[in-house]
Amino acid sequence: MKQIIFLGLMLISSLTYAQSNKPVTVDLTVGGTCKMCKERIESTVDVKGVKFSEYTLATHNLEITYVPSKISEEQIHTMLNAAGHDTNKSKASEEQYDKIHSCCKYRTHEHKEGEHEEETEEHNHDEDDDHDHKH
């Protein structure tokens, strides 16, 4: 009896495994403002297990095809956060967000085209409207 249950479990898990070897395509929403962001986002997810990715700036949509047995969608979100980009599922930390280039600060809605401020590490973010990350 025990053996039958064991064989049953084996069968189920191998079926699940076979299924997860198939690439899936999902659409994620990722924060970004410019071509640099697009390049950063696409190169961030250019890892083993990801077959294809294309970021559309206008819609903030990242179309990504990945193999679930090699990488999880959660890992993809985590990688994007680590690169400083918010996704529809999780947000980058202040620290992670701070690392991206000053012209890539997609969280501020005002686009100050003229002024080019060099961001230093110890700069206090006075005008930033991003407070603690809300979930």
User: Which residues in this chain contact Cu ion in the complex, by CB under 5 A?
Assistant: 33-34, 36-37, 104
Q: Is 37 or 64 the residue whose CB approaches Cu ion more closely?
A: 37
Other Cβ atoms less than 10 A from the Cβ of 58: the count is 5
Residues whose CB is less than 8 angstroms from the CB of residue 108 and which lie 6 or more positions away in sequence, other chains included = 127, 128, 129, 130
User: Which residues are paired to 25 by β-bridges?
Assistant: 65
Q: Is 30 or 37 the residue whose CB approaches Cu ion more closely?
A: 37
The nearest distance, CB 65 to Cu ion, in angstroms, is: 23
Residue sitting closest to Cu ion (CB): 104
The nearest distance, CB 57 to Cu ion, in angstroms, is: 9
- Say which residue the tokens 């085209």 belong to: 113
The nearest distance, CB 96 to Cu ion, in angstroms, is: 15
The nearest distance, CB 69 to Cu ion, in angstroms, is: 32
Asked if 90 contacts 83 with a C-beta cutoff of 8 angstroms, the reply is no
Q: Is 32 or 66 the residue whose CB approaches Cu ion more closely?
A: 32
Q: Is 45 or 66 the residue whose CB approaches Cu ion more closely?
A: 45
Asked if 67 contacts 23 with a C-beta cutoff of 8 angstroms, the reply is yes
Asked if 33 contacts 103 with a C-beta cutoff of 8 angstroms, the reply is yes
Other Cβ atoms less than 10 A from the Cβ of 32: the count is 24
